[in-house]
A and B are shown apart, each in its own frame.
Chain A
């Protein structure tokens, strides 16, 4: 009896750990569901085909699966209608970094996207907005020149048309292969946020799992309102880097959405099914160029 209990306990804990590692490596959780017919977080029986109806959220433990930008657009935007902006901006290899082109080509094939973010104009519950959605499946959602440019254009388009800007973040950080150019995208996008603010146009951020590095430390933290999906990993330095520096294990729940909520760095943690409604409320209560705006 005790032995069985122990084994069950080990079975419950161990896969969770290995799963977290797989998650950091960016492997698709849905493969887990397909293979094991269970939720990677709580291990209760799950059918991959039914996940679509719950917006890829586990009905038992509320685990939010990572989803692609186009799925997110389908779940969030009226009729899934999305008019893309700057869709033709494509990456080049500014540093002549070895193997960068082939990595980008591979990422294109794997993710079916041209870069790690899609930007465009759409409606949320009949309200016009500019939206940007990042994709972890494209080179870990890393921000290079193209991501920086597209995010910047989205914000400046919002400023020009006086439309609220919504950005769904999901990124491992800066794109190392573009060196200094990727670092500078932090300054560029932050400046765009400043220009947006000058126009009195709101910027809403929805942080999804995971958001790290240069992406967190730029436009992500500059939202007028910052929302986060439950249990998302959010931080500046990655957990392994921090553990390596301080030579100790990180506390449970460190860098999760709820941790940031408690520390005062996100406004609210919102479940996926409530995002549309919450965003609509925010759009209504932040009218651009309202009295009192600069």
Chain B
């Protein structure tokens, strides 16, 4: 899709939204129309998205929780070591449906960032998420997970308390949890630190989020031996929402207002809310066994390699009988 087509599509969406929600965004709309007419639009590069994903005022987990759910009670602690402020979680009401919700939380200013460690979680953060997930399973609550981290915290404390074990356990347990799990990659989806709370039945990505095995800087310093070549790395890693949708890794893209999610958090939140409602209406109908089976199938299918296609399918058939 050319950028102009894309822009016209967005404009249409925006207009219909304005009508539906009775929003006064005529100013934005006229600005967009002017932009479209002038033809001065360029396709969004991967690096542009990375910058938006890291924008200091980009809404985070708590901003969305506030806008999407009616009530939210935050719960703390992993019952083993402590409470990690880099992952927040608790119980919320989605309309009349109680849900468990958790996600990475960066700070909105320097002081809060020190406390929340820039959203780089420690083992106790992942263990807290697992504890809340198990609680949700016990009481039949669906789970909504928000991902926004560059990765798990690379430090001595992390290793001492078993960050690898904490992430591994989450991956295993989340993959067989008997309640629906829906994940949103809000901003940054960095490596195992993101995946540690991103195994679910359906995964959605915000338009300007990135999600990959390593940060662009990390990739650049390993591959080009130069962290400043991060822009280049961001391109080759294929880490944007459209890329991952194309690979069937995510199920859909949550579109953001032009200029990024921070320009209108309410708009983005409303889009996420619609998606949660839609997904839950489908997932809540599934029996727990079916849910777990489908989730396993989803994970087992991921991977691109060379082997006679027939053989691979017969392997999956043997496994799942499909």
Interface set of A (CB-CB < 8 Å, partner B): 88-92, 94-95, 97-98, 145-146, 148-149, 152-153, 156, 160, 174-176, 178-188, 190-195, 197-198, 213-214, 216-222, 235-237, 241-242, 245-246, 250-251, 254-255, 263-265
Q: Knowing A149-B303, A183-B195, A191-B176 touch, does A254 contact B238 (C-beta < 8 A)?
A: no
Asked if A95 contacts B306 (CB within 8 A), the reply is: no
C-alpha gap A91/B159 in the complex (Å):
31
In the assembled complex, B284 has its CB within 8 A of some CB on chain A: no
One of B161, B219, B299 near A191 (C-beta < 8 A): B299
Asked if A192 contacts B300 (CB within 8 A), the reply is: yes
Asked if A94 contacts B307 (CB within 8 A), the reply is: no
In the assembled complex, B165 has its CB within 8 A of some CB on chain A: yes
Asked if A180 contacts B154 (CB within 8 A), the reply is: no
A-B contact pairs, 22 of them (CB 8 A): A88-B307, A89-B306, A91-B306, A94-B247, A145-B303, A148-B303, A174-B214, A176-B222, A180-B212, A188-B299, A194-B173, A214-B192, A216-B168, A217-B192, A219-B168, A236-B154, A236-B159, A237-B158, A242-B159, A263-B160, A263-B161, A263-B162
C-alpha gap A78/B196 in the complex (Å):
38
Asked if A190 contacts B239 (CB within 8 A), the reply is: no
Of B172, B191, B238, which is in contact with the most chain A CB atoms at under 10 Å from its CB? B172
Contact partners of A255 in chain B: CB under 8 A: 159
Contact partners of B213 in chain A: CB under 8 A: 174-176, 178-180, 182-183, 214
Known contacts A152-B300, A178-B213, A237-B152, then 13 further A-B pairs from the complex at CB < 8 Å, ordered by chain A residue: A92-B306, A149-B303, A149-B305, A160-B318, A176-B237, A180-B211, A180-B213, A183-B212, A217-B192, A217-B196, A221-B164, A242-B154, A264-B162
In the assembled complex, B39 has its CB within 8 A of some CB on chain A: no
In the assembled complex, B236 has its CB within 8 A of some CB on chain A: yes
Residue of B nearest to A183 (CB): B213
In the assembled complex, B322 has its CB within 8 A of some CB on chain A: no
Contact partners of B161 in chain A: CB under 8 A: 263
C-alpha gap A221/B123 in the complex (Å):
13
Contact partners of A217 in chain B: CB under 8 A: 163-165, 167-168, 171, 192, 196
In the assembled complex, B1 has its CB within 8 A of some CB on chain A: no
Residue of B nearest to A196 (CB): B172
C-alpha gap A243/B168 in the complex (Å):
23
Asked if A156 contacts B319 (CB within 8 A), the reply is: yes
Contact partners of B304 in chain A: CB under 8 A: 92, 94, 145, 178, 181
Asked if A181 contacts B307 (CB within 8 A), the reply is: no
In the assembled complex, B4 has its CB within 8 A of some CB on chain A: no
Asked if B191 contacts A183 (CB within 8 A), the reply is: yes
Main secondary structure of the interface of B (DSSP, over half): helix
A251–chain B nearest beta-carbon distance, Å: 8
In the assembled complex, B145 has its CB within 8 A of some CB on chain A: no
C-alpha gap A179/B195 in the complex (Å):
13
C-alpha gap A218/B247 in the complex (Å):
22
In the assembled complex, B249 has its CB within 8 A of some CB on chain A: yes
Residue of A nearest to B161 (CB): A263
In the assembled complex, B169 has its CB within 8 A of some CB on chain A: yes
Residue of B nearest to A182 (CB): B213
Contact partners of B238 in chain A: CB under 8 A: 95, 179-180
Asked if B155 contacts A242 (CB within 8 A), the reply is: yes
Residue of B nearest to A100 (CB): B236
Asked if B214 contacts A222 (CB within 8 A), the reply is: no
In the assembled complex, B302 has its CB within 8 A of some CB on chain A: yes
Asked if A153 contacts B315 (CB within 8 A), the reply is: yes
Asked if B175 contacts A194 (CB within 8 A), the reply is: yes
Asked if B195 contacts A187 (CB within 8 A), the reply is: yes
Asked if B300 contacts A181 (CB within 8 A), the reply is: no
In the assembled complex, B42 has its CB within 8 A of some CB on chain A: no
C-alpha gap A192/B176 in the complex (Å):
10
Asked if A220 contacts B168 (CB within 8 A), the reply is: yes
B309–chain A nearest beta-carbon distance, Å: 12
Asked if B172 contacts A180 (CB within 8 A), the reply is: no
Asked if B296 contacts A250 (CB within 8 A), the reply is: no
Asked if B164 contacts A236 (CB within 8 A), the reply is: yes
One of B172, B212, B243, B315 near A190 (C-beta < 8 A): B172
C-alpha gap A66/B276 in the complex (Å):
49
